[in-house]
Amino acid sequence: MKTLNNLTALAAVVGTLMLGACASTTPLNNNVGTTAYPQQNTNSYTQYGVVQSITLVSQNSPTTSTPIGAGTIVGAVVGGVLGNQVGGGSGKTAATVIGAAGGAYAGHEIEKRNQTQQTNAYQLSVRLNNGSYQTLTQANSNDIRVGDSVRIDNGVATRY
């Protein structure tokens, strides 16, 4: 009977983890006032200007991750084993479930942080022909240098 309770608790933990893995963790782009890679500019017209400065910036970009990775599974097992050491009877089952869930969450977060990679992008400050300035961040420089005339289409600058 005790083994059946442990298997039931383990099945509940695995089911909870699988449902939790379905949640989206993609952050919204909260950049205000700039057009940021990979966000596209909503302007439907082309703008022209001259590049005033170019700065190399680094961005965190998450890699494609699987919903349940090794970190989640290892964390659930370790948390379940540690939780099983606490209490007795139904308290022990509850501690096992809570330990497994907490361990799975911690393992998933650690794995997610390790999968984030630094990528370089170019931040261009462009003085538009109408006198205003626009700052763009894009994945590549498109061979643009300070002083070049550029055309901005959909938030991407190219020389012309």
Q: Do 23 and 68 lie in a common domain? A: yes
Q: Do 76 and 102 lie in a common domain? A: yes
Q: How many residues are there in the chain? A: 160
What pLDDT is recorded for position 33? 44
pLDDT exceeds cutoff 80 at 102:
yes
In the three-class reduction of DSSP (H, G, I as helix; E, B as strand; rest coil), residue 4 is classed as: helix
What pLDDT is recorded for position 95? 84
Q: What is the 3-state secondary structure (H, E, C) of the chain?
A: CHHHHHHHHHHHHHHHHHHHCCCCCCCCCCCCCCECCCCCCCCCCCEEEEEEEEEEEEEEEECCCCCCCHHHHHHHHHHHHHHHCCCCCHHHHHHHHHHHHHHHHHHHHHHHHHCEEEEEEEEEEEEECCCCEEEEEECCCCCCCCCCEEEEECCEEEEC
Q: Do 11 and 85 lie in a common domain? A: yes
pTM over the 0.85 mark? no
Of residues 49 and 78, the one with the higher pLDDT is 49
What share of the chain has pLDDT > 70, as a percent? 64
Q: Do 22 and 69 lie in a common domain? A: yes
What pLDDT is recorded for position 34? 45
Q: Do 72 and 108 lie in a common domain? A: yes
User: What's the total number of domains in the chain?
Assistant: 2
Q: State which residues form the domain around 125.
A: 32-61+118-160
What's the whole-number mean pLDDT along residues 18-39? 45
Here the CATH number for the domain that contains residue 127 is: 2.40.50
Q: Do 128 and 159 lie in a common domain? A: yes
Q: Do 134 and 72 lie in a common domain? A: no
Name 90's Cβ contacts closer than 8 Å, sequence gap at least 6. none
- Split at pLDDT 50, 70, 90, the class of 2 is low
Of residues 39 and 92, the one with the higher pLDDT is 92
What pLDDT is recorded for position 12? 60
pLDDT exceeds cutoff 80 at 142:
yes
Q: Do 26 and 36 lie in a common domain? A: no
Q: Do 128 and 49 lie in a common domain? A: yes
Q: Do 14 and 83 lie in a common domain? A: yes
Q: Do 88 and 54 lie in a common domain? A: no
pLDDT digits (tens, 9 = 90+) for 17-27: 555 554 444 44
What's the whole-number mean pLDDT along residues 139-144? 87
Q: Do 139 and 154 lie in a common domain? A: yes
